[in-house]
Chain A
């Protein structure tokens, strides 16, 4: 039996945990969970926006993983395999909720094919530089279609490269890049709308103030 490798704290390496989990070792299952639960849960949380659902989805993703772990042969990175399971679990859930979902193969959105950025009538485009705060960004991300959201979370938040996202999402690298760009464009629109609403509210508040003082 090959020697198991342990960290300085005596914990199993991922490779050994996988091997032992395939034999049904409970400590190995827990070790795999320890290594990956935070990223999987974060992905689920960003996708659905609430903790209860995110916990259910993370739980389901790990259960599917552990049921299938005997089939893992190491052809791809383990984390890639796990994230693929997690994304599929999330997207299945969102489909059942009948949220509008953008297929990864969808090529265009009408506004992007226009000559320039979409303009709201009666309001200037506001530059986002220095105005994108965390709360507004998170709210905007929650409004993204699932397909865009998946790629954006995996790339811009969790730091996966496009070749990894292509494996996770079962799409091409070109599609991953295209969907990322569309996600950012949509976020731009949502954030600009938020800034315009805030600016409008500030103007109305200022008008009300000046009317009272007159």
Chain B
């Protein structure tokens, strides 16, 4: 092997393994031995140079400002699940919101009318929000059992009133179903749980009104 050939090998494979041929040449050639030694010393010394350096904080500050100026930064957008989008849109629908408000007003109205008559004061029973909040499991169980009972109790009531209650029960049940699905899919989603609890409360109020109406026998 000549010195020229050795240099070609070093050029093509700067960190290649030394072959027997290369070792043999180096043993007999002081110049090439010095070259190989120097290149190794450079390689070794460069390992001591830091691969990373911490830039000053102003670099990021300037970048951030420029990104804002160019409109590349947008406020964080949470990507809601399809169920949450549907739920939000449902609550935003004037018709549904109106129905819920109507149910609450109806419940208040029944409570008010009833209080004018002699008899047991059902105001406290009807005003669920002021009572200690029932557990989620208790409300869920009550919800499952109460719909049918309530509707049955309404069979002696004016059919039109019965139809209104059936429609409202269906609406609230649909909301509960969507909320339950959200909670199952995202157990850590506090907002979904809050929506679900709200839906249960609304159904409880509706049930209270319906059962009270049925108990009153249409009066």
Interface residues in chain A, defined as those with a beta carbon under 8 Å from any beta carbon in chain B:
1, 23-27, 29-30, 33, 37-39, 41-42, 45-46, 51, 54-55, 58-59, 62-63, 66-67, 112, 115-117, 125, 127-134, 137-138, 152, 156-159, 174, 177-178, 180-182, 184-185, 187-188, 191-192
Interface residues in chain B, defined as those with a beta carbon under 8 Å from any beta carbon in chain A:
3-4, 7, 10-14, 31, 34-35, 37-56, 58-60, 62-64, 66-67, 70, 72-77, 79, 81
Q: Do B34 and A38 touch across chains, with their CB atoms under 8 A apart?
A: no
Q: Do B14 and A127 touch across chains, with their CB atoms under 8 A apart?
A: no
| Option from B43, B74, B77, B79 in Cβ contact (under 8 Å) with A184 | B43
> DSSP majority for the B interface?
helix
Total cross-chain contacts (CB, 8 A) = 140
Distance of A58 Cα from B53 Cα, bound (Å): 11
- 5 closest A-B pairs by beta carbon, nearest first, are A24-B74, A38-B52, A156-B46, A41-B55, A132-B45
Distance of A165 Cα from B78 Cα, bound (Å): 38
7 contacts between A and B (CB under 8 A): A25-B77, A30-B64, A66-B67, A125-B34, A134-B48, A157-B49, A177-B11
Distance of A54 Cα from B58 Cα, bound (Å): 12
Q: Do B37 and A178 touch across chains, with their CB atoms under 8 A apart?
A: no
Q: Do B41 and A177 touch across chains, with their CB atoms under 8 A apart?
A: no
Closest CB in chain A relative to B85 CB, distance in Å: 12
Closest CB in chain A relative to B74 CB, distance in Å: 3
Q: Do A156 and B12 touch across chains, with their CB atoms under 8 A apart?
A: no
Q: Do A37 and B55 touch across chains, with their CB atoms under 8 A apart?
A: yes
Residues in B whose Cβ lies below 8 Å from that of A42 = 50-53
Q: Do B72 and A66 touch across chains, with their CB atoms under 8 A apart?
A: yes
Contact A115 B12, CB 8 Å, known A23-B77, A26-B76, A134-B48: no
